[in-house]
Structure 1
Amino acid sequence: MRALRALPVRRATAAVTATVVLSALPTLAAADAPARPVTPASHQAGPGAVRHIALQGAVNVRDLGGHRTENGRQIRYGQVFRGEALGGLTDADLAVLSALDLRTVLDFRTPEEVAQDGADRLPGELAPTARPVADLGLYATTKAVIGSKDPVRQHEALGNGRAEQLMRDIYRTFVTDAGSRRQFATTIRDIAHHKGAPLLFHCTSGKDRTGWMSYLLLRAVGVPSSAAERDYLLSNYFRGEADRKVREGLKQAGYMENPELLVPLQEVRADYLGAALDQIRKDYGSFHSYLGEGLGLDARTLAKLRARLVR
């Protein structure tokens, strides 16, 4: 992973969770570290066949291509990208994104997140399309809890498994909330019908809403569940150092006595993904039924999706 620059708390705390930004707090006093040179063509390989897009202002942007389907075919590179908030991109980063030839950027953040953390910074005339997915109040709650500087309040809100339960509840709403299902389904239809491709979708940290959307896409085109889960869990690999620096900075700045309380919010876990899949089984019986009944995707749309993404 690249060495991270010191970031203002408003930007750095986006790594705390998919929906946490502390825009009112002062700058973290972390030492600057030199960023690696970035060229417009740089795709940095992570584990396996994953292409990580090396950026200075975002750590969890990658190409969804390269995964193998159950029958041995491969997802095309350069068609669909997953990412995190792009408001902190540098001029060099814009050159990298420009080389991807993106036509569409979909933003799953809520209006409050965008207002606090800032809109995406994108190359040329490209503008983000808002496609908000609800967060069960996680953004506002965590912002208030951290901003209180009260270790007792923070432990009461996040300790003893409460943070983990909150994350499981959020993942269940990806399945139960009609508005969330509509946003995910619309995104799949856009990709299937080749609307605005190449396309990138993102949330704040690129791990929960973006992680679920990526899992849905991969499963829908025939990637085995185990491989789709591995892609989901890679956010921990790409986000690990940035998240550690956030925790360290919050402690140094006096906002948290025990920043390890944030780890369950910063990480993705198989247990969180499992909560959404368990909800699918309860509500629809199977993943295939969820695609049809829950997301309203007919056989023709799914066939177009596979033809679009699989070679």
Structure 2
Amino acid sequence: MKKTLLFLLVADCMIFGQVSENTKPIAQKVNILKTVNNPKNNDYIIPGISLGISGIPNLRDIGGYKTNDGKTVKFNLLYRSNEPSSDVSKDLERISSLRLINDFDFRTNSEISSVKDIMPSGVNYKHLNILADNANSAASSLESLFGNPNVVNKELGDGKALKSFLEVYKQLVSSPSALKNYGIFFNTILDEKQLPSLFHCTTGKDRTGWAAASLLTLLGVSKEQVYYDYLQTNNYILPLFYEERQLFISNGGDSGILDVILQVRPEYLDAAFEEVNVKYGSVENYFDKGLGIDKAKQTTLKKIFLQ
């Protein structure tokens, strides 16, 4: 388990932060996010909240958010999560209740070789390596660095960590592997027979975060709600790594570097949307020209996901 946690830490640049009375979660509740009805089981839930499966704490339904034209993103069609690994074995019955058709895995080959997905039988596994063109990025190649905090301080200090992460988010928008694989993902979920589905990376932070943020934006969800959903990752992943963070710091690691690398922050998502505006002019054009989701397909997505 410890080896798995360490790999999660270094491979997907996930969240760290000190858990204490004085620590405030980065994601603040937005007062426009009211409790809404989930028609599948008549339970009232808040959009963006974890489904409460301990082995996948960042498993969340993307439904429930209101759009600018008064519609609502449907529940029970698409789920975002951290990796469903060995820790979910005891929860397979609950996962089965989601009736998943597909498990979209956005991780790199090296991440998958270390930690395999575990899903109920009958779920189709689809590997989409978003960062295939960026094998040396901060989001996929920090494993060796975290074994030596002094190396981390040297390699990622003086603002280099922040610069690296902002570049990763730009690459999520414009690199060939990201465009190809996000395009496959969104084209697949255009078929209602491929839903419900789940998509994930290692912690559900960056690759997963951009997929969710771009889709919600295309559907017409407000920026405030999109960022709320993105920042929720901090709340669900942070408690898992308190001990590892303390050990890193006690061995001489710079906590400030960890904060930059391992949190989700609004400026990261800002960098991705800025790249969209520079390269494509709008989210709609990004889906059309970058991902192969033209206006007709965008209309189909809205018909599928909105009510």
Q: Which of the five TM-score ranges fits, normalised by the shorter chain? A: 0.7 to 0.9
Going from structure 1 to structure 2, the CA distance change for 1:150 and 1:257 (only over 3 Å counts) comes to: closer
Secondary structure of 1:105's aligned partner: strand
Task: Give the aligned partner of residue 146 of structure 1.
Answer: 146
Give the C-alpha shift of residue 92 in structure 1: 2.8
Q: 1:98-138: CA deviations, max 9, x gaps? A: 1111111000001111012x210111232421111114513
Cα separation, 2, equivalents of 1:287 and 1:244: 36
Equivalent runs, 1:115-130 vs 2, <5 Å: 115-116=113-114, 118-130=115-127
Equivalent runs, 1:251-262 vs 2, <5 Å: 251=249, 254=251, 257-262=253-258
Task: Give the aligned partner of residue 27 of structure 2.
Answer: none
Q: 1:177-218: CA deviations, max 9, x gaps? A: 122012112211211222421000000110100000001111
Secondary structure of 1:90's aligned partner: helix
Task: Give the aligned partner of residue 29 of structure 1.
Answer: none
Q: TM-score, normalised by structure 1?
A: 0.82
Task: Give the aligned partner of residue 78 of structure 1.
Answer: 76
Flag the structure with more relative contact order, 1 or 2, with Cα contacts below 8 A and sequence separation at least 6.
Answer: 2
Cα separation, 2, equivalents of 1:224 and 1:95: 34
- 8 Å CA contact 2:231–2:265 kept in 1: the answer is yes
Give the C-alpha shift of residue 250 in structure 1: 4.1
- 8 Å CA contact 2:82–2:203 kept in 1: the answer is yes
Indicate yes or no: 2:297 matched with 1:304.
no
Q: Which amino acid aligns with 1:181?
A: L
Secondary structure of 2:195's aligned partner: coil
Equivalent runs, 1:169-208 vs 2, <5 Å: 169-208=167-206
The percentage of counterpart residues that share the same residue type is 25
Q: 1:18-66: CA deviations, max 9, x gaps? A: 268xxxxxxxxxxxxxxxxxxxx9x995xx4334121222221100010
- 8 Å CA contact 1:83–1:203 kept in 2: the answer is yes
Cα separation, 2, equivalents of 1:9 and 1:243: 12
Q: TM-score, normalised by structure 2?
A: 0.83
Aligned residues: 277
- 8 Å CA contact 2:217–2:226 kept in 1: the answer is yes
Secondary structure of 2:79's aligned partner: strand
Give the C-alpha shift of residue 170 in structure 1: 0.5
Deviates further, 235-244 or 66-75 = 235-244
Cα separation, 1, equivalents of 2:243 and 2:7: 10
Going from structure 1 to structure 2, the CA distance change for 1:136 and 1:271 (only over 3 Å counts) comes to: farther
Going from structure 1 to structure 2, the CA distance change for 1:277 and 1:176 (only over 3 Å counts) comes to: same
Q: Which amino acid aligns with 1:268?
A: V
Task: Give the aligned partner of residue 288 of structure 2.
Answer: 292
Task: Give the aligned partner of residue 101 of structure 2.
Answer: 103
Task: Give the aligned partner of residue 156 of structure 1.
Answer: 154
Cα separation, 2, equivalents of 1:170 and 1:150: 22
Task: Give the aligned partner of residue 31 of structure 2.
Answer: none
Q: Which amino acid aligns with 1:199?
A: S
Unaligned runs of 5+ in 1: 1-6, 21-40
Give the C-alpha shift of residue 258 in structure 1: 3.6
Q: Which amino acid aligns with 1:173?
A: Q
Indicate yes or no: 2:231 matched with 1:237.
no
Task: Give the aligned partner of residue 265 of structure 1.
Answer: 261
- 8 Å CA contact 2:10–2:146 kept in 1: the answer is no
Indicate yes or no: 2:225 matched with 1:227.
yes
Going from structure 1 to structure 2, the CA distance change for 1:79 and 1:292 (only over 3 Å counts) comes to: same
Q: Which amino acid aligns with 2:156?
A: L
Task: Give the aligned partner of residue 29 of structure 2.
Answer: none
